[in-house]
Structure formats: structure tokens, C-alpha cells
Chain A
Amino acid sequence: MMSAVKSKPSYLPLAADTGGRYHLLLGLAEGSACLLRVLQELQNFAPASWQRTQVLFASTRASAAAAEIKADPFEEIGFEGAVLFTDGAALLAHARTILERSLMGTRVYIAGPESFIGRALQLAAAFNLNKDEIRAEHIGTAARRVHCVHCRAGTEDVRTNIVRCSGCSRWLLVRDHYSHRLAAYMGVIVDAEAPGELPPIREIYS
């Protein structure tokens, strides 16, 4: 239908930013693999950097199909002191307390499903951290949080191109236009011009 939307976020594989002085790693589920890679790179660059590195990790399973994730995968490479959680919300609440004490020169690394990244970026923005200080890698489910432009409700964990709004029950087209402020994709009624005529519903954000 429409050509690719340039406001859709794009992510790159995480790599250690050796220009940073302090490193805060935040990961959910499959994101542990990305954080491990960053830790290895930091250690290769300067073993002392681990003393200025913190890791927060939540091992929640994003979907039944996800491989079993170890509770503390970081001990295996010798990194001690990773703080473990069972859900992303608790992890981010703790991250907030760390950011309140953090200093300029900090780099934040985020790895996990997109909605976790979105929440983490909202938190980082509150501390005036910008794209030069944050790196994010999307791994795991592509399920989206959708913001209904009509009733403003948020619908979580959306995997289909069309979704019923959790607030007003309209059928929404899940667009690629993304708001960092809301950490959500735009949802607009899909059948305004021909009420009741829905395009085929496909699971495309799994």
C-alpha cells in the first residue's frame, strides 16, 4: 500500500561504545545474548571498564516458543553483580534509580523486544539522554504497542496488521508511524471509508 515509513525505528546490533565511561546494560529475555556480547567487547577493550558497568536483566519469557533463558547468564563469563528481575517493569523502576545517580559519560544499552526498548527509551529521555548515548537492539518478539488516535488508549502485544482497540473497540490499522514519546505505533480506524470491510488480518509482528 504505502512506501516504507521513515519514522519507523530501526535498530542495529549492539556494540560496546568505548567512548563512554560508564555503561548501563538493560536486557529482557533473548536480549541477554546482546548484552553478553557488549560485556565481552568492553572487557577486551579495557578490563577495568567492568568496574564502571552495571547490568540489569529480566528473564521473562516473551513467548511460549522462546528458548529457555538462564536466570543469570552473566556469571558464566565472569561478570558479577548483574541485578536480576522477573519482569521488565521492575527492571526499569530500578534503572530509574541508577540513572538518578548516573554521570555524564554514561552509555545505555538496551536489548529485547521492541516494546521493552520503547519503555526504556522513554525512561532515558527523562534524563536527557539522546541517541548518541543510547544503543538499542531489537531481539525477540516484534509485537507492538498500538496507540489509538481516536480514543488514545494503548493496546499491548499486537502481532497483527489490524487490531481491535482495547479502548473503543474500533478495528485499527497498525501503521509504521512510531512515537518515541508514547513508545507506540499509530493505530487508525481501518474501515472508515467502507465500514465493516476489513482487509485480511495477518500476523506479521510475531
Chain B
Amino acid sequence: MRGKIKPALPERSEDPRVTVSLTVNGEPVARTVSVRMLLSDFLRHELGLTGTHVGCEHGVCGCCTVHIDGKAARSCLTLAVQASGSEVRTIESVAAGDGALHPVQQAFKECHALQCGYCTSGMVMNVLSRFEEPGALDLSDDGIRDMLSGNLCRCTGYSNIVTAVRRAAELLGRTE
């Protein structure tokens, strides 16, 4: 308020801190943060990578899905300090450097597989990790829905996401 003495307000938390060193999207990162900081908050607020979204903080919705050491994982159920020493990959690493969409992203766009976009990052990271796993893909309707279960979407009703996964497989030359 103008003319009033500015209140003395705290600047930062007094939580014990810990140094977290990891690789994020190929770049080494070392930050000192609160010991209890969740990986989701670390990525979003410490590193400014806000593409990873938070939907529930109890591991059910999948919006926060990233890759930890090459495998899909819930960043809301991981402490940042647990990820020290790991390689983490987020949605920001998926498109090409010039912004060109990855085939999975391209398929989502073609198939109208997103509406509000909030679940989309986690959905793409989940799908990507399954495509990158060794082994055959089950691209039947049941098989794709099985792949997608674990990621909630409230907007699309999933049918276009199923179509997009099939289209992504096509774009990537995967028949199975």
C-alpha cells in the first residue's frame, strides 16, 4: 500500500536443503533445494520446465509422467533428491530443436487427441516410453487402451488418443 511501511516478509523456507545433481533432457543440473521437494516441483519451479503438469500428487492421474533412467515414472511420487544421479527426461525434450513435432506429437495433432492439453504431456511421455521399450507393441484396441490406462484424460474420452497411438506407430514404421 502506498504510504504505508512495507511489511517485512520472509523470502525463503527454512527447510534443510540438499544438493540434487542429475541430468535433465541431456543437460547436467545441480541445484540446492529443500530436502522434501518433489521432483515434479523441482522440474517445474526450480528448472522452469513447466511442461510437466501436476494433477493429483498421489500417482493416479499420470499428468506428471516423465522418464527416469529411460522409464516412465510419476514425478509427483519421487523426491527430487531420489532422482539425484539419474537421467530425467521431460516433454520439453520430445520435439526437435527447431520445434518440429515428434511423430507421437504429430499423431496426436492429426487425430485431435488433446483438448485442454493438461494430461497431454504425461500421455505423450507414457506412450513414448512404451514405444521405446523393447518388445512387441499390442496395437489392438484393447492393447492400446491397456497402454494408456494409468493416464487420466477428462476431455477426450480417449478414443482419439487410441487412434493417435495407432497413427504414431504407423509414422514410426512400427506394425507391432
Q: Are chains A and B native binding partners rather than an unrelated pairing?
A: no
